[in-house]
Amino acid sequence: MQRSLEFARTQCEAEGGRSLAFRPDIVRKSDLNGDGRDDYIVDFRNAVCAERLSMFNGTGGWDLEIFVSQGRTRLVRVFTGRVRGYDLSETPGSRTMTFDLHGGFCGKAGVEECLKSRRITGRKFEFRDR
C-alpha cells in the first residue's frame, strides 16, 4: 500500500507537479473480506498533485485501489481502477461494494449510470469495457 502512495508521488512529479498532498482520509480501513483483519481502500480523490489537479481525478472518476489481508502480515491489491463512486454495504456474513463506473463499462454513454456490485475476496478483479 505504501508503494502505491509513493508511486503516486513519483508520478505527480514526473508529470510536472510540484508536490503531492494526501488528505487524511486517503486510506480507509475496514474488514472487506470478512476475515477479521483490516483491509484498505486507497481513495485517490483525496490526493492533490499541485499543477496537475486532474491527475488522479477527472470526468471519468478517480483512481481507487483495494488491498485485502492474507494471513497476518500480507496485503494483496485486488483492485485498481477508476470509479465515480462506491458504496460499501455490510450485512452479517456479507460485505459488498457497489461501484459507480463510467457508462462505457455497461455499454452506455460515459455520463449514463453504470453500477456494478462485487463481493470483495482475496481474488483480483477488474471491470472491463464492453
The band of 10, judged by pLDDT with boundaries at 50, 70 and 90, is very high
pLDDT at 91 over 80: no
Q: What pLDDT is attached to residue 92?
A: 67
pLDDT at 5 over 60: yes
Q: What pLDDT is attached to residue 57?
A: 86
The band of 130, judged by pLDDT with boundaries at 50, 70 and 90, is low
Domain ranges across the chain: 2-119
Q: What pLDDT is attached to residue 1?
A: 82
Q: What pLDDT is attached to residue 76?
A: 94
pLDDT tens digits, one per residue of 106-123 = 999 888 999 999 998 889
- How high does pLDDT run on average in the chain? 89
Give the residue-averaged pLDDT of 83-104.
Answer: 87
3-class SS letters over the chain: CHHHHHHHHHHHHHCCCCCEEECHHHEEEECCCCCCCCEEEEEHHHEEECCCCCCCEECCEEEEEEEEEECCCEEEEEEEEEECEEEEEEECCEEEEEEECCHHHHCCCCCCCCEEEEECCCCCCCCCCC
